[in-house]
Amino acid sequence: MLFRLRLWGLFLAQALSREMEYRLHLWLSFCIDVVWYAVQIGLFEVIYLHTPTVAGWSRAEMAVFLGTLFVVDALNMALFSTNFWRIPQYVLTGELDFFLLRPVSPFFLVFLRYPNVASFLNLALALTVLGYGVSLAPPPSVWAVLAYPVFLVHGLLCMVSFQALIGAIAIRILAAEGIQQTFHILYQFGMKPDSIYTPLLRRVLLYLFPMGLVASVPAQVLLGKAGVELVAAGLVLPPLFLAVSRRAFLHALRFYTGASA
Amino acid sequence: MKDLAVYVSVLRLGLSAALMYRANFLFTAGLTVVVGVSVQLFLWGAVYGWGQHASIAGMPFGQMALYIALATLSLGLTRSGRVERMVAEEIRTGELVRYLLKPMAHAPYVLTMALAERLVSFPVVLLAALVALQVVLPEAPAPLSTGERLAWAVPFWVCGMVLNFLMGLGISYVAFWLDEVWTLHVVKDISLWFLSGQLVPLSLLPNGVRQLSEWLPFQYMAYVPAGILAGLIPEEALPLLLVRGVGWSILLSGIVALLWTTGLRRFGAYGG
């Protein structure tokens, strides 16, 4: 574990020195998520001009939800997302050979090789939005504050799991750009609180396709709104999803034949 | 006449290229529209309290739902595509020289290729709009007949396509000065979700912001065509809106031409 942490520290140092060469690119990448945050906040600000609550969420609670969404998203962007988008290129160019030959887990290398420095800046902004939301909402209980980081990490695990599954498909079908875009398209379900959906869809988003666990459940835990079912699902399912998707990804690697020879 | 024949050939070439990606287009565009519209409808259903509020800002839920579906389709149709974005890559790699040697201007060439790309998606969007108007949500108010609304929407869709194309091409021409401009394209696309009125009708914005949005070009990409089809925009406002849209197109064309002229002076490519 310590070895992997040290290795990731080296990846981060490399990424940082690369970004320092192209500083404008770093700031423009930072701007992308700033604009995305502004659009999400703008949408709900306009909605709350016309109604006091949306599916049981007040404006302050929605700010906590958005803050949570932005934090999980920024962590995903900082750690995994850049790597996820590179998978088809690894397969087509044969670059994946070099990952498989290293004495480290290919899952670790494929998903963590290139950290995104700009997203660490976004993380600071996301935490500010979260802090603002918490300051508006009723004070959370001590239990909620202690449990929240665990659910936040579990939300991130759900994102990684889904990307790993799509990555596995990308390895199998080679021309995978369209498949990769499905992640961003379906991620839209996780960008809104789960209580806006029908009971059946909420179950699907909780147990089958866990977008509800990304931000909705962690935010409800912090706000003290999560019932026993949500807490149990949020604790148990994400590690399970990760184990299954990691296995699927490693299984897909068996079908990779290399392209560099 | 000879020029026209050249551009018809370019259009044919563009259509073949666009059709090569038809499976990818149908899959991603179809899923984008279906998921995007579904999530938005769930959200607005919750905003309306699942039928508890008869209307919000004078809009009944049926009209809002119709608007959201059509605004998503409109932005999907008018958004800038692969062709304009590739121009930045061609400038960066020096491949632009290939076009400088051809007996045609660059912007009209790219416009023709982009038009071919849109021609593939236009019938799909038109059909989906018709289905939304006639079958899915027939209860929306109808100051104009379906035919009249579609007839008014088409020139605004064209206007939205031209404006979005010019913005995309302008951003790509910034590649004469910057190495990488894809981030600017992404920033523009994300901003348009809100500024064009895809996520929320611009008529729901606070007064000052709404008045400002009426003077900006972004509304032509989603709000105006979807607003016409959903019965949000009165017929008497349409001629002035069209004049403003054409005015914006002329202004942006001028800016794009200026970027091209000044950028080309800095451009250098070697080998080939």
d(CA B200, CA B68): 8
- Per CB-CB distance under 8 Å, the chain B contacts of A24 are 178
For B143-199, the pLDDT digits (tens) are 667 778 888 999 999 999 999 999 999 999 999 998 888 899 999 999 999 999 999
Residue A260 within any structural domain of the chain: no
Does B272 or A157 have the greater pLDDT score?
A157
Q: Tokens in use for A140?
A: 């959370």
- Per CB-CB distance under 8 Å, the chain B contacts of A198 are 42
Q: Per-residue confidence at A161, pLDDT binned at 50, 70, 90?
A: very high
**Exposure of B98 by Cβ count < 10 A (0-12 exposed, 13-18 middle, 19+ buried)?**
exposed
- Find out whether B198 and B72 touch, Cβ atoms under 8 Å: yes
Specify the DSSP class assigned to residue B267: -
Please report the pLDDT score of residue B144 as a whole number.
65
Please give the backbone phi and psi of residue B60, each rounded to the nearest 5 degrees, phi first.
Answer: -70, 160
Euclidean distance between the first and final Cα of chain B, in Å? 31
* CB interface of B with A, residues 35-74, below 8 Å: 35-36, 39, 42-43, 45-47, 49, 53, 56-57
- Per CB-CB distance under 8 Å, the chain B contacts of A25 are 179-180, 183
Is A54–B47 a contact, with Cβ atoms under 8 angstroms apart? yes
Residue A258 within any structural domain of the chain: no
pLDDT > 70? residue A259: no
- Find out whether A181 and B28 touch, Cβ atoms under 8 Å: yes
Out of A29, A46, A192, closest to residue B204 by CB: A46
Residue of chain A whose Cα is closest to the Cα of B32: A185
Distance from CA of B60 to the nearest CA of A (A): 13
Q: Per-residue confidence at A179, pLDDT binned at 50, 70, 90?
A: confident
pLDDT > 90? residue A42: yes
d(CA A70, CA A135): 17
- Find out whether A187 and A210 touch, Cβ atoms under 8 Å: no
Residue A178 within any structural domain of the chain: yes
C-alpha R_g of chain A: 19
Q: B219: closest CA among B236, B200, B239?
A: B200
Out of B31, B193, B204, closest to residue A185 by CB: B31
Average pLDDT across chain B, whole number: 86
What is the widest separation between alpha-carbon atoms in chain B?
A: 69
* CB interface of A with B, residues 161-180, below 8 Å: 177-178
pLDDT > 80? residue B135: no
* CB interface of B with A, residues 200-239, below 8 Å: 200, 204-206
Provide the number of structural domains found in chain A. Answer: 1
Q: Return the residue matching tokens 């019965």.
A: B231
- Per CB-CB distance under 8 Å, the chain A contacts of B39 are 188-189, 191-192
Is B194–A55 a contact, with Cβ atoms under 8 angstroms apart? no
For B72-123, the pLDDT digits (tens) are 889 988 877 778 888 999 898 888 888 888 778 888 888 888 888 888 777 7
- Find out whether B153 and B118 touch, Cβ atoms under 8 Å: no
3-state secondary structure chain A: CHHHHHHHHHHHHHHHHHHHHCHHHHHHHHHHHHHHHHHHHHHHHHHHCCCCEECCEEHHHHHHHHHHHHHHHHHHHHHHHHHHHHHHHHHHHCCHHHHHHCCCCHHHHHHHCCCCHHHHHHHHHHHHHHHHHHHHCCCCCHHHHHHHHHHHHHHHHHHHHHHHHHHHHHHHHCCCHHHHHHHHHHHHHHHCCHHHCCHHHHHHHHHHCCHHHCCHHHHHHHCCCCCHHHHHHHHHHHHHHHHHHHHHHHHHHCCCCCCCC
**Structural domain span for residue A206:** 2-253
pLDDT > 80? residue B6: yes
Residue A259 within any structural domain of the chain: no
Range in A62-71, A145-154, A237-246, B58-67 with the lowest mean pLDDT: B58-67
Q: Per-residue confidence at B271, pLDDT binned at 50, 70, 90?
A: low
Please report the pLDDT score of residue A252 as a whole number.
92
Helix (H) or strand (E) holding B59: strand B59-60
Mean pLDDT of A142-168: 95
Q: Per-residue confidence at A196, pLDDT binned at 50, 70, 90?
A: very high
For A82-100, the pLDDT digits (tens) are 999 888 888 888 888 888 8
pLDDT > 60? residue B245: yes
Is B47–A51 a contact, with Cβ atoms under 8 angstroms apart? yes
Chosen for mutation from A54, A117, A194 (greatest number of chain B CBs closer than 10 Å) is: A54
Does A160 or B82 have the greater pLDDT score?
A160
Does B196 or B140 have the greater pLDDT score?
B196
Please report the pLDDT score of residue B110 as a whole number.
87
pLDDT > 60? residue A261: no
pLDDT > 80? residue B255: yes
Q: B25: closest CA among A184, A178, A173?
A: A178
Residue A82 within any structural domain of the chain: yes
pLDDT > 60? residue B140: no
Q: Determine the residue type at B35.
A: V
* CB interface of B with A, residues 77-96, below 8 Å: none
Whether B184 has its CB under 8 Å from any CB of chain A: the answer is yes
For B17-48, the pLDDT digits (tens) are 777 766 766 777 777 788 888 999 999 999 99
Does A90 or A196 have the greater pLDDT score?
A196
In percent, the amount of chain B with pLDDT more than 90 equals 40
